[in-house]
Amino acid sequence: MNILDKIVADKRIEVELKKSIVPVSQLEQSVLFEREPVSLAKKLRNSTTGIIAEHKRRSPSKSVINQKVSVQDVTKGYEDAGVCGMSVLTDGKYFGGSLDDLVLAKASSNMPLLRKEFIIDPYQIIEAKAYGADLILLIAAVLSRDEIKLFSETAKSIGLDVLLEVHNEEELHKSIMPSLDMLGVNNRNLKTFDVSIETSKILSEKIPDDFVKVSESGISSIAAIKDLKNFGFQGFLIGENFMKTENPGQSAIEFIKELEK
């Protein structure tokens, strides 16, 4: 069993437990559930930089990335830097995140927040909005076409944007449907954790222009972003590059200033 299979197996147990404790009706009574989500897709279409920054404490591939900075400080720093949106890891066991991180990020900013999670049940989509997310991530590698359709339509019905992540052409072909806003190409092989931005370049011409193209993982240089823009990418998810520094917000400010030159 590879790491992705392990994460999904654990996630199924976790979600069933949550469903038995907090019903959907309770989630829908959250103050945050009533708000109007902010669209990341619209922001990316109108942005000159397209940066989506991330809050991530650790990962299976890198163990500890940054356990010292607070979510509020990171969020405010990213917003000051002018990022288009922020990805918040909410998986606890493998990434050290939580839904509380999402709430604190929403309380600290007005920018679009992505709940970065292994979504395998519609319950998690309702949960995402109840805790302050503006959009969700769906990972094609762990979902069937029918699940992608159900989950993306569920998200759209409550006003959330949908970013669907693929790793290869096969996943892309099974995933394309009108209920998606953004198609992300993950440059990291989730089974081996090898990274190559060539993956984004290869798949770019196969993604219809109706969707905002997002490149994810392994993006650490201005040159890489400028290169990917030539392939039609408008969004760039940067995770560890900022978080591995002492002050992620300041790192984002310096990076974006350089990018805008």
Rounded to whole angstroms, how far apart are CA atoms 159 and 164? 16
Cα dihedral: 21, 120, 184, 51 (round 10): 10
Distances (CA, A) of 259 to 81, 224, 247, 256: 12, 11, 18, 5
Which residues 6+ apart lie within 8 Å of 124 measured at CB? 15, 115, 117, 136
* Host H or E run for residue 152: helix 145-157
Q: Which residues are catalytic?
A: 54, 56, 116, 165, 186, 216-217
**Unique residue bearing structure tokens 């992300």:** 184
Distances (CA, A) of 226 to 67, 98, 233: 31, 33, 9
Residue 13 token pair: 């147990």
Half-sphere exposure of 244 (CA within 13 A, CB side): 8
